[in-house]
Each structure stands twice: as C-alpha cells, then as structure tokens.
Structure 1
Amino acid sequence: MNIAEVNDQIRSNKGIIGLVEKVYENSVMIKIHINPTDIFYENNVTVINHKNYEVIKKAALQL
C-alpha cells in the first residue's frame, strides 16, 4: 500500500480525483478537483481510507 503525502494527487476507487490536504493514521483528507460520481460534497472536501485510493502524482519537493 502506497500512503499519500500532503500535496499528492490521488484517485479514489470511485473515481474522485483530488489533492491531499491532511494525512491521518488510516485515511487522508482531500480537496476534490474532479468528481465523476453523483455524490454531492458541499465543501469539495472528503476523507478517504488508505485502502480506497491510489497515488497518481507525487508532490514536488518543497525546499
């Protein structure tokens, strides 16, 4: 399992694509960029379990 880090771009098992804002022990909080589902997220933020996403783009190094 590849656990995401802050500013990584991820895709959930449901197809939601977003940017990781915070990493928790068992999940990540993301700001949603693309939502192909019928689910409405009022604040464009959701929490996804580590088992239910894949990292599609790692964050650039911050100096």
Structure 2
Amino acid sequence: MKKADVGNLIEFRDGLQGIVEKVNENSVIVDLTYMENYRDLDLEEKTVVNHKNYKIIATSHK
C-alpha cells in the first residue's frame, strides 16, 4: 500500500476526490473543495481518510 503525500490528488468513497493536506500515521486529511460539485454535495471542506480507503489519482498536485 502506497501512502499519499501532501499535494497528491486522491479518490475515495464512491468517487469523491480531494487534495491531501496532511499525512498522519494511519490517515490523511483531505481538502474536498477541489471538486467542482463540492458545494452541491453539502460536505465539510475537509475530511479524514484512512490509508486503506483511497487510491492516488495524481501526484504532487500543489
């Protein structure tokens, strides 16, 4: 399992995408405002995702 780095674009839970802002031991903190339909989804700006529950879409998306 490859862990994401800060700035990576990841995808998780039914196609949600976000930019990794912080990498913790067991999870990453993700900024969801990257998605164009972010406001329509009524989500918080950031969320925590376990390393087991995402895939890296693009690297170094700073």
TM interval, shorter chain, is: 0.7 to 0.9
Number of residue-to-residue matches in the alignment:
58
Structure-2 separation of matches of 1:45 and 1:14: 16
Which protein is richer in helix relative to its size? 2
Residue aligning to 1:40: 42
Offset of residue 4 of structure 1: 0.1
Offset of residue 15 of structure 1: 1.2
Unaligned stretches of 5+ residues in structure 1: none
Seq. identity, %: 41
Unaligned stretches of 5+ residues in structure 2: none
Query: What TM-score do you get using the length of structure 2 for normalisation?
Result: 0.79
Letter in 1 for 2:43: Y
Residue aligning to 2:20: 20
Give the greater-gyration-radius structure (CA).
1
Structure-2 separation of matches of 1:49 and 1:15: 15
Query: What TM-score do you get using the length of structure 1 for normalisation?
Result: 0.77
In structure 1, the residue corresponding to 2:29 is in which secondary structure? strand
Spell out, residue by residue over 1:24-62, the C-alpha distance to the aligned partner (whole angstroms, 9 max, x if none). 0000000012368xx6323x11000000000010106x9
Name segments (4+ residues, structure 1) moved above 3 Å: none
Root mean square deviation of aligned Cα: 2.1
